Each structure stands twice: as structure tokens, then as C-alpha cells.
Chains A and B, each alone.
Chain A
Amino acid sequence: DTGVSQDPRHKITKRGQNVTFRCDPISEHNRLYWYRQTLGQGPEFLTYFQNEAQLEKSRLLSDRFSAERPKGSFSTLEIQRTEQGDSAMYLCASSPTGGPPGSGNTIYFGEGSWLTVV
């Protein structure tokens, strides 16, 4: 059973460019999460999908950020007009259909995609 896969693992981009990250969750996991992590901090929630529906989105997610999960399988996170403050690791996680939210479902993280904006 393969884990959560993220691509690319590292991305260096110039300020103002657009970047896109891809996440392939564990097979048959219908719940998918995106988080952002900066050095010395814990993961910050960005957005949540249940199948293809985006059910929760953080206020941290400005209009420059958009995420999709078109067929309920892989997901993409796009950042438009990148800024230096966007430099961070972007983590994807997934979990299987389990109990209702809050009942102890384990989420499984990918290794993350590092973004450096220069």
C-alpha cells in the first residue's frame, strides 16, 4: 500500500509566478487535507475535501490560493502570483472513510512539497 504522494518535492520560483502542487492520496481514501508548514511551526490547515467536494477552507487561504479535487482522487493546490511569504512546505494528508469527523480518524501525511519564492 503506497503512501500519500506529493509532487514536486521541491520548487523554486520567482516572485509573481504561479505554482501548482499535486497530491495523490492513499487509494480509496475519500478525505483529503492540505496544510502549510513554516520553519519552527506546526502545520496550519488550508483546506479539506470529502471526495470531490471542498467542505472547509481556511481564512488563511487568500484569493491567490485555489485547490481542486476534480474526480475525488488526486488533488492540486495552485498558488497564483507567488509572494516571498508563500515560502513554506505544503503538506497533503488523507484519511479513509471512517467514523464521523472528530471520532479519532487517523490522517496520513505525504512528505510535503517545499516552496521557495525568490
Chain B
Amino acid sequence: GDSVTQMEGPVTLSEEAFLTINCTYTATGYPSLFWYVQYPGEGLQLLLKATKADDKGSNKGFEATYRKETTSFHLEKGSVQVSDSAVYFCALEGTYKYIFGTGTRLKVLA
């Protein structure tokens, strides 16, 4: 069945460092792909999405490109801030469900 695999965390970075969080997927066909973010005590919020191969989703300085060849959707940010500390989830849209990875915790130190 469909699945999403994320790099394990936690990831600890200094402020202004470059961020990459890896995500790969297994699916039949070419599903839409998402990154969601979860702050402590809150539900998940959409960060960005891409609906077809080579699409780039972007929001708040974060970017991710839908790579069909490598079945990947890695999340990047050029300069992280303390306020980016959260848990990040990669997800794919199936027929009647969304399938999430296990999440990657990011901690940014001032």
C-alpha cells in the first residue's frame, strides 16, 4: 500500500542554518504531496503542497519539489529561525485518506 518515509529526528540547528528534511513516498500513480507542521499542543497546519511532478510548493521561506524520478518531496529552508521549531510531517493524498510520515522534530537554537 501507499506509504511515506521521513528522516528521523530530532534535527537540531542553529538559527540561520540551512534545513533539509527528507521525505520519500511509495504510491500507485502520482499522488499530491504535502508538508504539514505541528506546533506544541496544536493540530496540524498545511505548510505547502505540490500536485504534480516537478511542481514546487513554497510558503514562509520553505520549499519542496515533487520529484517523480526519485519519489521524493524533500523540505528545505535556507535560513531557519527559532520560531520554526516544530514537528514537520510529509503526507500524500490517497483516494479517501491522507497518509502521513512519522514526523521530524526540528529544534532551532538561538
A residues in contact (CB < 8 Å) with B: 4, 33, 40-45, 48, 55-56, 58, 91, 93, 101-112
Contact = CB atoms under 8 A, between A and B. Distances in A.
A25 B97 CA distance: 16
Contacts of A104: 32, 49-51, 93
Contacts of B51: 103-104
Given A104-B93, A109-B43, 8 more contacts: A42-B91, A45-B97, A48-B97, A101-B96, A104-B51, A107-B46, A111-B43, A112-B43
B103 A109 contact: no
B103 A107 contact: no
A98 to B, nearest CB: 11
Nearest to B105: A40
Contacts of A44: 100
B99 A45 contact: yes
A43 B89 contact: yes
A101 B94 contact: yes
**Interface-central residue, A41, A44, A55, A102, by most chain B CB under 10 Å:** A102
A34 B21 CA distance: 26
5 contacts: A40-B103, A41-B103, A42-B89, A45-B99, A103-B93
Chain A contact residues, majority secondary structure = loop
A103 B32 CA distance: 6
B100 A43 contact: yes
Q: Which 8 A-B pairs have the closest CB atoms?
A: A104-B51, A42-B100, A109-B43, A56-B96, A104-B32, A45-B97, A109-B44, A111-B43
A112 B38 CA distance: 11
**Interface-central residue, B36, B41, B46, B93, by most chain A CB under 10 Å:** B93
A91 B44 contact: yes
B95 interface: yes
Interface string B69-110: 000000000000000000001010111111111110000000
Contacts of B89: 42-43
A106 B51 CA distance: 11
B63 to A, nearest CB: 17
Contacts of A41: 102-103
